[in-house]
Amino acid sequence: MAHSARSKSKLKAKAIKTQTPGTDYHNTAEARRERIAKKLKENLEKQIQEKEIAQTDTMTDDSVPTTSNIEEKVIDYQNVSTHGWRKSRKASYKKKHSNKKKNKSIKF
């Protein structure tokens, strides 16, 4: 029988391949970890710089509220429609077949 990608035997084999130094799997996994760590570090530095810039801007212009500051605080909420049929395959199937049942009765 075939094993799924999440079976214990497959996971154990993959773990051994990635943990053994010198293998291609280990080198690839290590390079991936380094790329992710580098990207996270860059994002963190960027966030810190943006935060410092925002703090210096608010310190200089705290006394006068501008329209851009007011517009940023306003959040645009859309009303959620709770009536009518939902947009799923099950609901569309029910909608389609609900009309067929109404016309089955015989009228005299």
Question: What is the predicted pLDDT for the residue at 16?
Answer: 93
pTM of the predicted model as reported, rounded to 2 decimal places: 0.44
How many Å apart are CA 34 and CA 40, to the nearest integer? 10
Measured in whole angstroms, the distance separating CA 105 from the mean position of its chain's CA atoms is 49
| DSSP labels, 49-71 | HHHHHHHHHHHHSSSS--HHHHH
pLDDT along the chain (108 residues), means of 10: 84 91 92 96 94 83 57 63 79 81 61
Question: What is the predicted pLDDT for the residue at 29?
Answer: 92
Question: What is the predicted pLDDT for the residue at 107?
Answer: 61
How many Å apart are CA 61 and CA 94, to the nearest integer? 58
Cβ atoms of residues 3 and 14 within 8 Å: no
Residue with tokens 């608010």: 58
Cβ atoms of residues 91 and 84 within 8 Å: no
Residue with tokens 């773990």: 15
Question: What is the predicted pLDDT for the residue at 101?
Answer: 64
